[in-house]
């Protein structure tokens, strides 16, 4: 049997400076860890074919399907504030694009698929741990309703990769609305290649902002679109306690999807200064800094787009400033809207921001678990506030806040059961807590036991439904289970 995938290559119509054509490097012994069957079906792919020996070989990069013409994409990026003019897919290859059942075009990328012209000193490979982390967390994000790249499959390669130690190698098949990053625009702009820049922008508009093509200034409309999507995205991150960890401009997608799960982590105890990434010494990408950094990244996008915004530089700068000026209001509106849903409020009142902020302050003082506090607040909407009270040593402070909250709820009469149900739909019970993720990686890497990984993926697919018997997945880490540092996905 010869596998056929309906792969397309609209990106290959762009100027050649933006990519390099090459095949993935075959691996010794591909073995399927997990195939995301519902995602494969949504993409119009045949899960049985993908799970066959030949399909697994394709997912591992050992076999190139008939008619495929894979490519590595070029991009630049600001890494921790420093501009690097040439990064690119150093350990990833775009297998091709597919149009899913919903009519949307998406990329299928193999991450860990071998060296490319953009590999610099790297080996082009990925270790099993980071591949499983990206699978778990990106799929959890999707289930939590956050725009994100998806995991189509994880395979092991039967080869070792050498980091501080020899680790089992793996490849992640990743699906994205596109892999066009802020850094992709920076790359085209830094080349001084205006034609490539314009072609890239037109391509991105066709994929992500088709309506912008009809606007008086399509490139301004595109920038407005990216600003709006990223303002909404970073608000969603904060609302579920997510810390990306490496918000470099090459890890910021113009589609508005979360991309590049490296040292990412979910916060347990609420503290806006939380940092997990072992390489983020200054706390640049701390939880509470993420909106500010996203704005910074968008300024870099606007700079790259300047020559397209207007032939007159002053007018171009004015257009960029107007577009970027919308970020703060869009972000704050999305964040406050989300906090209202978390508090069980459907209407907007002036005092809501302070009400939410005062709870967060109490949580920070109590070092209360972010996810569990809101989940137990959902129970409190039905009158059961014992578990919530148990989380706060400052009983009087919480008492006073609960009285304000209940008074505010009375302004929006609703059956308490319905309110609690709505709140439980906004406040997940299961998130990919760091200690859980580390434990499944440990089982897979050191014991070749993938059952804990499979179970965690399954639990996180339904993050809002609480089930008896799954308490372990809802509970913050015990002191000895705490994970304080995460490492990059290399």
Q: Any contact of residue 369 with Mg ion (CB under 5 A)?
A: no
Q: Any contact of residue 122 with ligand AMP (CB under 6 A)?
A: yes
Q: Any contact of residue 245 with ligand AMP (CB under 6 A)?
A: no
- Residues in contact with Mg ion, shown as a per-residue x/- string from 269 to 288 under the rule CB under 5 A: --------------------
Q: Any contact of residue 260 with Mg ion (CB under 5 A)?
A: yes
In order, the DSSP letters of 192-248 are: T-HHHHHHHHHHHHHHH-GGGGGSSSHHHHHHHHHHHHHHHHHHHHHHHTEE-S---
Question: Which residues make beta-bridge pairs with 277?
Answer: 486
**Distance in angstroms (rounded) separating the CA atoms of residues 446 and 257:** 32
CB-wise, 36 or 116, nearer to ligand AMP?
116
Q: Any contact of residue 78 with ligand AMP (CB under 6 A)?
A: no
Closest Cα to residue 10, out of 100, 108, 97? Answer: 97
270: left (phi over 0), alpha (psi -120 to 50) or beta: beta
Shortest distance (Å) from residue 112 CB to ligand AMP: 8
In this chain, which of 156, 157, 249, 251 binds Mg ion, going by CB under 5 A? 251
Q: Any contact of residue 257 with ligand AMP (CB under 6 A)?
A: no
Question: Which residues make beta-bridge pairs with 107?
Answer: 97, 176
Which of Mg ion, ligand AMP, none does 191 bind, CB closer than 5 to 8 A by kind?
none
Strand ranges (DSSP E) for 38-187?
71-73, 77-79, 82-84, 92-99, 105-111, 126-127, 150-162, 166-176
In this chain, which of 78, 91, 179, 284 binds ligand AMP, going by CB under 6 A? 91
Shortest distance (Å) from residue 119 CB to ligand AMP: 4
In the residue annotation, 250 being an active-site residue is answered as yes
Which of Mg ion, ligand AMP, none does 489 bind, CB closer than 5 to 8 A by kind?
ligand AMP
Q: Any contact of residue 262 with ligand AMP (CB under 6 A)?
A: yes
Q: Any contact of residue 87 with ligand AMP (CB under 6 A)?
A: yes
Of 25-33, 103-111, 246-254, 482-490, which segment contacts Mg ion by CB under 5 A? Answer: 246-254
Which of ligand AMP, Mg ion, none does 125 bind, CB closer than 5 to 8 A by kind?
ligand AMP
CB-wise, 40 or 151, nearer to ligand AMP?
151
CB-wise, 90 or 241, nearer to ligand AMP?
90
250, 260, 268, 280: the active-site residue: 250
**Distance in angstroms (rounded) separating the CA atoms of residues 297 and 287:** 16
In this chain, which of 97, 139, 260, 268 binds ligand AMP, going by CB under 6 A? 260
Shortest distance (Å) from residue 261 CB to ligand AMP: 9
Count of beta carbons in the 10 Å neighbourhood of residue 256:
21
Q: Any contact of residue 85 with ligand AMP (CB under 6 A)?
A: no
Which of Mg ion, ligand AMP, none does 106 bind, CB closer than 5 to 8 A by kind?
none
| Cβ atoms of 306 and 394 closer than 8 Å | no
In this chain, which of 25, 52, 119, 217 binds ligand AMP, going by CB under 6 A? 119
Instruction: Please give the positions annotated as active site.
Output: 250
The residue ranges that bind ligand AMP (CB under 6 A) are 87-91, 118-119, 122-125, 246, 250-251, 260, 262, 488-490
The residue ranges that bind Mg ion (CB under 5 A) are 251, 260
């Amino acid at each position: 049997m010869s596998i056929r995938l309906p792969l397309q290559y609209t990106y290959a119509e762009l100027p050649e400076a933006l990519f390099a054509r090459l095949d993935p490097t075959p691996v010794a012994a591909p073995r399927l860890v997990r195939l995301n069957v519902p995602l494969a079906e949504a993409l119009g792919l045949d899960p049985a074919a993908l799970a066959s020996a030949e399909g697994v070989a394709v997912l591992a990069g050992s076999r190139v399907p008939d008619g495929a013409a894979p490519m590595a994409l070029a991009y630049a990026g600001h890494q921790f504030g420093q501009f690097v003019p040439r990064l690119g897919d150093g350990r990833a290859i775009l297998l091709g694009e597919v149009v899913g059942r919903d009519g949307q075009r998406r990329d299928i990328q193999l991450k860990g698929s071998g060296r490319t012209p953009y590999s610099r000193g790297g080996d082009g490979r990925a270790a099993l741990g980071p591949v499983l982390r990206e699978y778990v967390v990106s799929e959890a994000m999707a289930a939590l309703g956050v725009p994100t790249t998806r995991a189509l499959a994880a395979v092991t390669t039967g080869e070792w990769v050498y980091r501080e130690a020899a680790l089992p190698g793996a490849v992640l098949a990743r699906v994205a609305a596109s892999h066009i990053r802020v850094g992709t625009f920076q790359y085209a702009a830094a080349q001084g290649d205006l034609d490539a820049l314009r072609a890239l922008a037109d391509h991105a508009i066709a994929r992500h902002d088709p309506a912008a093509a009809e606007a008086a200034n399509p490139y301004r409309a595109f920038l407005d679109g990216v600003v709006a999507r990223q303002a909404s995205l970073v608000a969603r991150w904060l609302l579920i306690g997510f810390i990306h960890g490496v918000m470099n401009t090459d890890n910021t997608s113009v589609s508005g999807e979360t991309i590049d799960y490296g040292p990412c982590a979910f916060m347990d105890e609420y503290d806006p200064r939380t940092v997990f990434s072992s390489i983020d010494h200054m706390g640049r990408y701390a939880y509470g800094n993420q909106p500010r950094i996203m704005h910074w990244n968008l300024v870099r996008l606007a700079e790259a787009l300047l020559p397209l915004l207007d032939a007159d530089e002053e007018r171009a700068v004015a257009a960029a400033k107007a577009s970027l000026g919308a970020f703060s209001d869009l972000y704050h509106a999305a964040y406050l809207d989300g906090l209202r849903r978390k508090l069980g409020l459907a209407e907007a009142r002036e005092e809501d921001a302070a009400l939410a902020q005062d709870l967060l302050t109490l949580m920070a003082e109590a070092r209360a678990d972010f996810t569990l506090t809101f989940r137990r607040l959902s129970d409190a909407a039905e009158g059961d506030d014992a578990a919530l009270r148990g989380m706060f040593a400052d009983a009087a402070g919480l008492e006073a806040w609960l009285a304000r909250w209940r008074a505010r709820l009375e302004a929006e009469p609703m059956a308490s059961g319905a309110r609690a149900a709505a709140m439980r739909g906004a406040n997940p019970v299961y998130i990919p807590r760091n200690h859980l993720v580390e434990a499944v990686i440990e089982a897979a890497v050191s014991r070749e036991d993938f059952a804990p990984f499979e179970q965690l993926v399954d639990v996180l697919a339904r993050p809002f439904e609480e089930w008896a018997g799954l308490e372990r997945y809802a509970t913050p880490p015990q002191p000895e289970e705490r994970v304080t540092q995460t490492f990059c996905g290399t």
